[in-house]
Amino acid sequence: MSKTAILEIDGKKYEFPIFKGSENEEAIDIKKLRDLTGLVTLDPGYKNSGSCTSEITFLDGELGILRYRGYAIEDLAENANFLEVSYLLIFGKKPTAAELEKFENDIRKYTLVNEEMKSILDGFPKSAHPMGILAALTSALTSFNPKSVDVENEKDLYCAVCKTMGKFLVIATWTFRKNMGYPMNYYDNTKGYVENFMRLMFEIPTEPYKVSQTVIDALDKLFILHADHEQNCSTSTVRMVGSSHAGLFASISAGVSALWGPLHGGANQAVLEMLEEIHNNGGDTEKYLAKAKDKADPFRLMGFGHRVYKNFDPRAKIIKKAANEVLATLGVEDPILDIARKLEAAALEDEYFKARNLYPNVDFYSGIIYRALGIPTDMFTVMFAIGRLPGWIAQWKEMRENKEPIGRPRQIYTGSPLREFK
């Protein structure tokens, strides 16, 4: 006998089934709530509302658990590579060596971006933020690939996945090249996906360019750690936009815009700017902790806190360790890392943060590694987007394959009653 929830309204009782997931999470199934009671629920920010069931990512905020398709993030970060994890998230299973090689080669078929896209890029001022350019160029990909994805056709969907993985990486680096006044680079189909990212970003025609394996491995791990995170703001946006049957590029473009916000993916840039400000102000971490606790002060400790994790973000632990290793291997002495460690230690001891279960999240240390790799601060959220791309694709694909209805939340009106317009 499955569990139910009883709701009593004006003396009348209503019974709703309780849905249990594969990790024993439970939800009250309110699909029939309005039909039975005439009422809707109210939940700003959806802090208590599940939008869907999903087989892609499981996270437990209390225990600090994160798994992609059942594999622990610690296991994947240690033993997998980014394209392997991308395949796992999108197609639901670990690729065989042959499948992974085919996937990488099929992505290579689409790494040439239409030259006319450059005229769109030329339209932006040099000062344009890379995330704004990326959202626009991603949406523009629809114009150059107008055939909409037939989600019923496995081959068509597979090609759309490879096309998105291939082209997004290239246009993401174009935002930096434009900013620097460099010529646009092209993907080198003889090299790996992550190595290509560094080449696309930094190789200039006048100099030979070599990428160290340390850098490739660090980036590969960072992309894995960012690859998916169930129904976060940007992923929910991708699902919402896709639910109207808008195309994959248009849905991903919307996800890029949602990720840009400083409360979400934009936090990694905001963390570095915050740490630099503290460093430039003499490293007074106590002053900034006090600002973060002061309700009258809009300042928040960027890179701290999380909607779901009320324990350490498991990704933050891995990234913190990687930051120490990468900087040591590269021989980079960065005072910002010392500021971050000092700030983290102080916050973890502080009653305000402890009482609110505020711990470092994925964004707190990632920027320190990006900086050590020479990636400019305003490109940090683009790095997040490159990592999150397979997760967005996987979630969009699942939503369409499950034939989910168009997303359309209800509301409670609190505005003016009927009045005549003279």
Residues recognised as catalytic: 306, 363
3-class DSSP state for residue 28? strand
- Could you tell me which stretch among 103-111, 160-168, 299-307, 323-331 binds ligand SDX (CB under 6 A)? 299-307
Q: Which is nearer to ligand SDX, 201 or 347 (CB)?
A: 347
Which residues from 87-116 bind ligand SDX, rule CB under 6 A? none
Residue/partner pairs of 344-347 with CB below 8 Å, 24 or more apart: 346/285, 346/286, 346/289, 347/289, 347/292, 347/301, 347/304
Residue with tokens 């190789």: 203
- Could you tell me which stretch among 14-22, 302-310, 328-336, 372-380 binds ligand SDX (CB under 6 A)? 302-310
Q: Smallest distance, Å, CB 288 to ligand SDX? A: 10
Among 178, 264, 371, 400, binds ligand SDX (CB under 6 A): 264
Among 203, 220, 344, 363, binds ligand SDX (CB under 6 A): 363
Helix axis angle, 248-260 to 130-144, nearest 10° = 170
**E strand or H helix that includes residue 167:** helix 154-180
Q: Pattern of binders to ligand SDX over 164-203, x per CB under 6 A?
A: ----------------------------------------
Between CA 382 and CA 369 the distance in angstroms is 14
Between CA 321 and CA 288 the distance in angstroms is 24
φ and ψ of 67, to 5 deg:
-135, 135
Q: Is 275 in the site for ligand SDX (CB under 6 A)?
A: no
Q: Is the distance from CB of 7 to CB of 37 less than 8 angstroms?
A: yes
Query: In this chain, which residue has its C-beta nearest to ligand SDX?
Result: 305
Q: Smallest distance, Å, CB 259 to ligand SDX? A: 8
Q: Which is nearer to ligand SDX, 174 or 260 (CB)?
A: 260
Residue with tokens 């090249």: 177
Q: Is 361 in the site for ligand SDX (CB under 6 A)?
A: yes
- Could you tell me which stretch among 1-9, 149-157, 305-313, 405-413 binds ligand SDX (CB under 6 A)? 305-313
Residue 137 structure tokens: 């160029």
Longest pairwise C-alpha distance within the chain: 79
DSSP for 101-113, written as a single string: HHHHHHHHTT-PP
Starting at the edge strand that comes first in sequence, how are the strands of the sheet with 65-68 ordered?
Answer: 57-60, 65-68, 71-72
Q: Smallest distance, Å, CB 292 to ligand SDX? A: 4
Q: Is 305 in the site for ligand SDX (CB under 6 A)?
A: yes
Residue with tokens 């001891």: 349
Q: Which is nearer to ligand SDX, 64 or 305 (CB)?
A: 305
Closest residue by Cα to residue 293 from 374, 362, 354 = 354
Count CB-CB contacts under 10 A for residue 175. Answer: 23
Q: Pattern of binders to ligand SDX over 229-258, x per CB under 6 A?
A: x--x--------------------------
Q: Pattern of binders to ligand SDX over 23-62, x per CB under 6 A?
A: ----------------------x-----------------
- Could you tell me which stretch among 4-12, 74-82, 294-302, 326-334 binds ligand SDX (CB under 6 A)? 294-302
Interface with ligand SDX (CB under 6 A), residue total 22
Residues in contact with ligand SDX by CB under 6 A are 45, 229, 232, 263-265, 267, 292, 300-308, 356, 358, 361-363
